[in-house]
C-alpha cells in the first residue's frame, strides 16, 4: 500500500518533479532508517517502522519517476498524413469491420522529413490482405498523437500510451501492401506470442462463426475487440465482462486442470508414481502452463496478478507450504507496482486487486468460523454450497469493485449476481475445460474437437448476457465519483480487509464518507470541446443539449457517460428556444441562462459587443478581444486549445471552470493540442457530409481510450 502511495504522489504532481528527487529521496530515507535503528535500540520499533514506511513511499515515487525517465516515449509532434509508411507488424488485432496493427520502426517511404515515433498503431479500413505479426508492410495512413481525455479528470489514454511506448495512432487510406514475410528469429518472445495469438484467432474463426467465435477468442487469448458491439454491450450490462478478462478464474482453471491432468497421468504409470514426487512435478508443469497462457493473453494486469498468485501457491507445494493469504496479494501488487507503476491508475489494476483482496478477507473470516461437518456432505448439499459460494463471491466482488466502476465508467450493473449465477458455472465446468482441450489439440489440427462444444457453452453465456441485459434497470447510471472520495473508500476498504480485530469496522467510516459524495456531486452545466466546435449545456429537463448532432461522436459519448445521461436532449436550434427553455439562439449566437448566470456563445464577431455587455461568461471558437465590462470569464479559441475540453459548473456562489490540461498539468505525456488535432478541414460540416467517424481521425482513435478502459473492467 505504501509503495502505491508513492506512485500516486508522483502521478499527482501538477508539474514534472526534478529528475533527482525520486532517487535522492530513497537514499535519504535509507540513511534515516539506519540512524533510526541505531537510536531506537532493540526495545522500540515505532521509529524504525516509520522510517521503513518512508522508504516504501519513496521507492514507489522513485520507481514511477524512473520508468518515466527511462521510457521517454517520443510522441508525434503534429499530425502526419496521408503518408506512405513502411514498418514491421508487432501485433494484429481483429475488429468486426477490420484490423488494427501495431507497427514498430515506422518510416515514411522515400525518406520523409518528419521523424516518426518508434511504435504506432493504425486502424485498417476497407478490404485488406491477410496481415500477420512479423511481416514488413507498407500502408498509406493518417497519424496523430494519442488523444487527450475528453472530460476533465477522465481516463488519460495519452498517459497510458506514453508508458506503453506508443507514440501515435491513426487510420489507413487505401490497401496495405506486404513487403516481406517475417522470420521466427525476428522480434523475440513478444513477437513469438503475438504470432501464436494470431494463429489461435485464425483457427477459432475457422471453426466458429460470428459472436460465438469472437467471445471464444476472448476467453482463449483476451482479444475482445472482435466481439460485435451489441453482444459486448449486453455482456457489460449484465455484469459478465469479467469473464472476458483473462484473470483469476481463467488462470486458476488452466493451472488446476493441467495440475490434475499431469498428476493423474503420472499416477497411471506405477514406476514413475512410486519413484517421483508427482505432486511437485505437476505443480511445476502447471506454473509453466499458467505462464504461457498469461503471455498468450498479452499479459494484462489481471492476468499478471493471477499468474503471480497462482505461481506462488503452486511453488509453495515444492516446499510443502500453503501459499494462499493476503500476503500473496501484496506480493503480486508490489511486483506490478515496481515494474508497471502507471497501471495503478487504471481500472484494470484497481478492480482486479479490490476484488481479490475483498474475497480473501471474507473467506479468511469464514474459514476461522467454519466448523467441521458432523457427517459427510451429500451431492445436494455440495451443490447448494457451490451455488452459495458463487452468490457470495459475486456479491463481495461486486461491492468491492463498484466504487471503481462508478469512478471510471459512471455505471453499475444491477443484476450482475443473477447473471453470474448462471454464467460462472457454465464457464468453469464446460467452456474452460473444452478450451484447454482445444489448445492441446491445436498443434495436431484437431482443435475443432474442443472448439465446437466450447462454442455451445459460449452461446449459452451470450444468451444469459442478453437476457439479463434486457431486464428493467439492468444498468444504473451514476455521476462520476470524485477522486478524493475514491481514495477514502479505498483506504477504508483496505482497513476493513487487512485488520483481524473488531476495530476493522472503523473502516466503514471513510467508506461511508466517500460514498456519500454521490449524494452531492453533480455533472457540469456546460461542456466545451477543445476546438470549440462542439458545445453542450444542461437544460431545464436535466438532459445535455448538444450544439451539433454530427461532430465529435466520441466526445458526445464521453460527455453523456460522465454526466450519467442515457440519452441526449434536443440539439441546439438555429433560432428559437432550446434546452428546456434555458437556451435562446439567433443567427448571431446563443445565450444560456442557468442558476442566475448568463453565458453567451457567439457564432460571429458581430455578436461580441452585446455579449460582452450582458453576459457573465463568453465562450466560442472566435477570438474575444477588447474590453468586456460584464464578463467574469472568457473562453475563446486560444484558451480552449491551451486547456482542452472545458467543463463549467454554475452555482449560487460562483462559477467553477475545469479543463483537461489544467488538471493534468505539465507532464511528459501531456502534448500540445496541435499533436492531437483532427484531419477534418475546418470548413467541412460533418452533419451534412459523411459520418464524423469517417472524416475525423481524432474521433475514431479516441475510441482507443474507451477500449482501454472498458476492456480492463473485469476482475
Check if the beta carbon of residue 551 is closer than 8 Å to that of residue 692. Answer: yes
Cβ contact 175:126 at 8 Å: yes
Question: 684 pLDDT band (50/70/90 cuts)?
Answer: very low
Sheet bearing 526-528, strands edge to edge: 544-546, 535-538, 526-528, 646-651, 654-659
Question: 3-class DSSP state for residue 659?
Answer: strand
- The 10s digit of each residue's pLDDT in 336-368 is 999 999 999 988 899 989 988 998 888 888 877
Residue 186 DSSP class = S
d(CA 287, CA 295): 12
Query: For residue 701, what pLDDT is reported?
Result: 47
Residue 323, pLDDT score: 60
pLDDT tens readout for residues 191-215: 888 888 889 999 999 999 999 999 9
Instruction: Give the pLDDT confidence score for residue 639 in this predicted structure.
Output: 86
pLDDT of 674 strictly over 70: no
For the stretch 175-195, pLDDT in tens is 999 988 876 556 677 788 888
DSSP 276: S
pTM score, two decimals?
0.85
For 80-187, CATH number out of 3.30.70, 2.40.50, 1.20.120, 1.10.3470 equals 2.40.50
Asked whether the predicted pLDDT for residue 708 surpasses 80, the reply is no
Q: Which residues in 391-404 are b (16+ Cβ under 10 Å) and which e? A: eebbebbbebbbbb
Place of cell 454491450: 233
User: For 439-469, how does the pLDDT look when each residue is reduced to its tens digit (9 = 90+)?
Assistant: 889 988 899 999 999 999 999 999 999 999 9
Q: Where are the alpha helices (DSSP H) in 227-277?
A: 229-237, 248-267, 270-275
Q: What is the DSSP string of 310-337?
A: HHHHHHHHHTT----SHHHHHHHHHHHH
Average pLDDT score over residue span 638-663: 89
Average pLDDT, the chain: 84
Q: pLDDT category, 700, cuts 50, 70, 90?
A: very low
Percent of the chain with pLDDT over 70: 90
Rounded Cα distance, 166 and 253, in Å = 33
Residue 373, pLDDT score: 65
Q: Is the pLDDT of residue 20 over 50?
A: yes
Please tell me the predicted confidence (pLDDT) of residue 165. Answer: 92
CA-CA distance, 377 to 355, in Å (whole number)?
29
Give residue 335's pLDDT band: very low, low, confident or very high (50, 70, 90): very high
Per-residue confidence (pLDDT) for residue 113, from 0 to 100: 66
In this structure, of 6-10, 148-152, 182-186, 395-399, the range with the lowest mean pLDDT score is 182-186
- Number of Cβ within 10 Å of residue 378's Cβ equals 9
Query: What pLDDT, on a 0 to 100 scale, did the predictor assign at position 214?
Result: 93
527 DSSP β-pair partners: 536, 647
How far is residue 666's CA from residue 117's CA, in Å, rounded to a whole number?
21
- Res 611: pLDDT: 87
Question: Would you say residue 695 has pLDDT above 50?
Answer: no
Do residues 97 and 214 lie in contact, with contact meaning Cβ atoms separated by under 8 Å?
no
Q: Which residue has the cell 459427510?
A: 376
Q: What is d(CA 592, CA 580) in angstroms, rounded to the nearest whole number? A: 11
Cell numbers for 13, please give them.
Answer: 504532481
Amino acid at each position: 500500500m505504501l509503495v502505491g502511495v508513492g506512485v500516486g504522489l508522483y502521478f499527482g504532481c501538477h508539474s514534472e518533479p526534478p529528475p533527482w528527487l525520486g532517487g535522492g529521496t530513497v537514499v535519504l530515507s535509507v540513511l534515516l532508517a539506519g540512524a533510526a535503528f541505531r537510536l531506537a535500540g532493540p526495545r522500540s520499533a515505532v521509529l524504525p517502522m516509520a522510517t521503513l514506511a518512508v522508504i516504501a513511499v519513496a521507492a514507489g515515487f522513485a520507481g514511477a519517476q524512473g520508468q518515466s525517465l527511462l521510457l521517454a516515449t517520443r510522441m508525434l509532434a503534429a499530425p502526419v498524413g496521408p503518408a506512405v509508411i513502411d514498418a514491421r507488424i508487432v501485433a494484429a488485432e481483429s475488429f468486426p469491420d477490420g484490423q488494427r496493427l501495431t507497427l514498430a520502426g515506422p518510416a515514411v517511404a522515400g525518406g520523409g522529413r518528419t521523424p516518426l515515433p518508434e511504435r504506432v498503431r493504425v486502424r485498417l479500413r476497407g478490404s485488406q490482405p491477410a496481415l500477420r505479426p512479423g511481416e514488413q508492410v507498407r500502408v498509406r495512413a493518417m497519424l496523430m498523437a494519442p488523444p487527450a481525455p475528453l472530460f476533465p479528470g477522465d481516463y488519460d489514454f495519452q498517459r497510458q500510451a506514453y508508458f506503453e511506448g506508443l507514440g501515435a495512432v491513426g487510420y489507413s487510406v487505401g490497401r496495405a501492401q506486404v513487403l516481406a514475410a517475417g522470420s521466427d528469429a525476428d522480434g523475440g518472445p513478444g513477437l513469438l506470442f503475438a504470432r501464436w495469438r494470431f494463429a489461435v484467432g485464425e483457427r477459432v474463426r475457422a471453426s466458429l462463426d460470428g459472436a460465438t467465435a469472437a467471445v471464444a477468442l476472448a476467453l482463449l487469448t483476451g482479444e475482445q475487440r472482435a466481439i460485435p458491439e451489441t453482444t459486448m454491450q449486453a455482456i457489460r450490462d449484465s455484469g459478465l465482462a469479467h469473464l472476458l478478462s483473462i484473470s483469476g478464474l481463467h488462470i486458476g482453471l488452466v493451472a488446476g486442470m493441467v495440475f490434475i491432468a499431469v498428476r493423474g497421468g503420472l499416477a497411471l504409470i506405477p514406476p514413475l508414481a512410486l519413484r517421483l514426487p508427482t505432486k511437485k512435478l505437476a505443480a511445476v508443469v502447471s506454473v509453466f502452463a499458467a505462464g504461457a497462457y498469461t503471455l498468450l493473453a498479452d499479459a494484462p494486469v489481471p492476468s499478471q496478478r493471477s499468474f503471480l498468485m497462482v505461481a506462488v501457491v503452486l511453488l509453495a507445494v515444492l516446499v510443502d507450504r500453503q501459499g494462499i493469504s493476503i500476503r500473496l496479494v501484496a506480493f503480486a501488487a508490489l511486483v506490478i507496482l515496481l515494474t508497471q507503476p502507471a497501471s495503478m491508475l487504471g481500472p484494470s489494476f484497481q478492480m482486479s486487486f479490490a476484488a481479490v483482496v475483498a474475497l480473501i478477507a471474507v473467506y479468511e473470516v469464514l474459514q476461522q468460523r467454519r466448523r467441521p461437518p458432523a457427517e459427510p456432505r451429500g451431492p445436494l448439499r455440495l451443490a447448494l454450497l457451490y451455488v452459495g459460494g458463487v452468490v457470495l463471491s459475486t456479491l463481495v466482488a461486486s461491492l468491492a469493485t463498484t466504487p471503481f466502476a462508478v469512478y471510471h465508467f459512471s455505471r453499475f450493473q444491477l443484476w450482475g449476481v443473477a447473471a453470474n449465477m448462471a454464467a460462472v458455472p457454465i464457464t468453469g465446468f464446460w467452456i474452460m475445460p473444452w478450451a484447454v482441450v482445444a489448445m492441446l489439440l491445436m498443434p495436431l489440427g484437431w482443435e475443432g474437437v474442443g472448439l465446437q462444444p466450447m462454442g455451445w457453452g459460449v452461446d449459452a453465456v451470450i444468451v444469459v448476457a442478453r437476457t439479463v441485459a434486457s431486464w428493467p434497470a439492468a444498468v444504473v447510471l451514476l455521476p462520476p465519483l470524485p477522486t478524493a472520495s475514491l481514495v477514502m473508500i479505498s483506504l477504508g476498504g483496505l482497513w476493513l480487509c487487512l485488520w483481524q480485530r473488531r476495530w476493522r469496522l472503523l473502516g466503514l467510516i471513510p467508506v461511508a464518507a466517500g460514498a456519500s459524495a454521490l449524494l452531492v456531486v453533480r455533472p457540469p452545466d456546460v461542456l466545451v470541446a477543445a476546438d470549440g466546435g462542439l458545445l453542450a449545456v444542461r437544460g431545464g429537463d436535466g438532459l445535455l443539449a448538444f450544439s451539433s448532432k454530427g461532430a465529435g461522436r466520441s466526445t458526445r459519448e464521453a460527455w453523456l457517460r460522465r454526466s450519467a445521461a442515457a440519452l441526449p436532449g434536443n440539439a441546439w436550434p438555429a433560432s428559437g428556444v432550446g434546452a428546456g427553455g434555458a437556451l435562446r439562439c439567433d443567427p448571431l449566437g446563443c445565450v444560456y441562462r442557468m442558476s442566475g448566470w448568463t453565458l453567451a456563445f457567439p457564432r460571429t464577431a458581430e455578436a461580441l459587443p452585446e455579449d460582452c455587455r450582458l453576459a457573465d461568461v463568453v465562450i466560442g471558437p472566435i477570438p474575444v478581444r477588447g474590453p468586456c465590462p460584464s464578463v467574469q470569464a472568457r473562453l475563446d479559441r486560444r484558451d480552449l486549445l491551451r486547456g482542452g475540453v472545458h467543463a463549467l459548473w454554475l452555482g449560487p456562489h460562483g462559477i467553477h471552470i475545469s479543463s483537461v490540461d489544467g488538471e493534468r498539468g505539465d507532464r511528459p505525456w501531456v502534448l500540445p493540442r496541435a499533436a492531437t488535432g483532427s484531419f477534418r478541414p475546418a470548413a467541412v460540416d460533418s452533419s451534412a457530409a459523411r459520418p464524423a467517424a469517417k472524416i475525423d481521425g481524432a474521433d475514431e482513435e479516441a475510441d482507443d481510450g474507451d477500449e482501454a478502459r472498458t476492456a480492463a473492467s473485469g476482475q
